Chains A and B, each alone.
Chain A
Amino acid sequence: MNGGDAAGRLVRPFTLTGGRTRPSRSDFTLITTVTAVDPQPVGGARPQPEHTRILRLCAKPIVVAELATGLDLPVSVVAIMLCDLLEAGRITVRQPRLISRTPDLDLLKKVRDGLGRL
C-alpha cells in the first residue's frame, strides 16, 4: 500500500505474539497512552527484543497509534504485546477521556480554544 519494504519483514507480525491475534484485555485503543515503568521491575521473564523496543519507545508517554508507527507494526500486534508488558508490570496505561453521549463541555471548550490559537 505504501510501497514499504519490498522484501517484507523477516518475522511475520503475529509470530511476535506467539500466534495470538487478539489481546487478552481491551485496554488498548489507538489513543490510549502507555508509559514504561521506571525503574523496571526486577525478576520475572526477560522481555523479548520487540518488548524491549516498546519499552524504549514508551520511556516517555506515547499513544498506541504512535507506538505502532514507531515500531512499524500493526496496532493489533502492538496491543497484544502491550498486554504482556502490562501484566508483567512493566508499563502503566492511561485511557483516553471517555466521550459519552453528553460530552464534557469544559473539554470541548478547551479543544475549541486550543484550535483557535493555531
Chain B
Amino acid sequence: MAASDPTPQGMPAPDAVKILVAGGFGVGKTTMVGSVSEIVPLRTEEPLTTAGLGVDDLDGIPDKQATTVALDFGRISIGDDLVLYLFGTPGQQRFWFMWNDLAIGALGAVVLVDVRRPESSFAAIDFFERRKIPFVIGVNGFYGEHPYEPDEIREALALPEHTPVLLFDARERASCRDVLIALLDQLIATSAR
C-alpha cells in the first residue's frame, strides 16, 4: 500500500497491529482493555448476521438488544508510526462465529482465566490451540488474590509446558502491560527459533 502512504495531507498513517483478549464471560477482558488502553475503551456493536443463524435461537427473546454483539477495543501507541489495538473478544459462546474474523492478522492472544471457574476459558484456549495462534494465560486475581501457583493452573488447564501462565490483576495497568510483554517475549522466542 505504498501508494497511499504518506496520505495526501503528508501525515503518514501509522501501522496497525492487534492482539486479542479472550476468555469466558465476565473474566475481566473489558477491564484489561480499559486498564492498558490510552483511550477510553471503545465499543462497537455488530448485528448478528446469517452466520449466527442456527447457532442463536432468538425465538422467545423479546429483547432486541440480543441481536447485536458488542466488541470492546483499546489502543496503545507504540511510537509515532505503530499502533497496537487490543480487541476483547465477545465472551458468550454463541458469538464465536465472530472470532475467526477477529483472529485474522492478530499477533497473538491473551486468554484470561478466572480460577473460580477455569472451565469458562477452555473454549478460548481450544480455539487458539487449534488455529496455532500463539497465546499466554493471564490469571486474573479477583480481589487481587491468587490462591494457585502458575504450575498448578497450567496443569489444570492441560497446557503445554512452554505456555506462559501469568498471575495478574486486570485492574492494574502495569500488571496488564507485563502480560502483554510476556506474550511478545513468547512470540519473539518462537519466531527466532
Count contacts on B: residues with CB < 8 A to the other chain.
Answer: 55
Assuming the A-B contacts A35-B13, A76-B46, A103-B107, are A30 and B87 also in contact, with contact meaning beta carbons closer than 8 angstroms in the complex?
Answer: yes
Total number of residue pairs linking A and B with CB closer than 8 Å: 143
> Within the complex, which residue of B17, B44, B45 is in contact with A111, where a contact is CB–CB below 8 Å?
B17
**Residue of A33, A60, A95, A111 touching B84 (CB-CB under 8 A):** A111
Q: Considering residues B4, B11, B76, B84, which has the most beta carbons from chain A within 10 angstroms of its beta carbon?
A: B4
By a CB distance below 8 angstroms, the chain B residues around A25 are none
* Interface secondary structure of B, over-half rule: mixed
User: Number of contacting residues on A, CB 8 A?
Assistant: 46
Q: Which residues of B contact A29 (CB under 8 A)?
A: 104-105
Q: Given that A63-B16, A75-B44 are known contacts, is A103 also in contact with B173, CB under 8 Å in the complex?
A: no
B1 contacts across to A, CB distance below 8 A: 93-95
> A52–B85 Cα gap in the complex (Å)?
26
A92 in contact with B76 (CB, 8 Å):
no
User: Would B9 and A38 count as touching, CB distance under 8 A?
Assistant: yes
| Contact bitstring A54-78, B, C-beta under 8 A = 1, else 0 | 0000001101011011000011100
Indicate whether B156 reaches chain A with its CB closer than 8 angstroms.
no
A30 and B188 contact, CB distance less than 8 A:
no
Closest B-chain residue to A4, C-beta based?
A: B65
Instruction: Give Cα distance in the complex from A33 to B82, angstroms.
Output: 12
B interface residues, Cβ below 8 angstroms from A: 1, 4-5, 7-9, 11, 13-18, 36, 42-47, 49, 65-66, 68-71, 73, 75-79, 82-85, 87, 102, 104-107, 132, 173-174, 177, 180-181, 184-185, 187-188, 191-192
Closest 4 CB pairs of A and B: A114-B78, A61-B13, A92-B4, A112-B184
A contact residues vs B (CB 8 Å cutoff) = 1-2, 4, 13, 21, 29-33, 35, 37-38, 60-61, 63, 65-66, 68-69, 74-76, 92-99, 101-103, 105, 107-116, 118
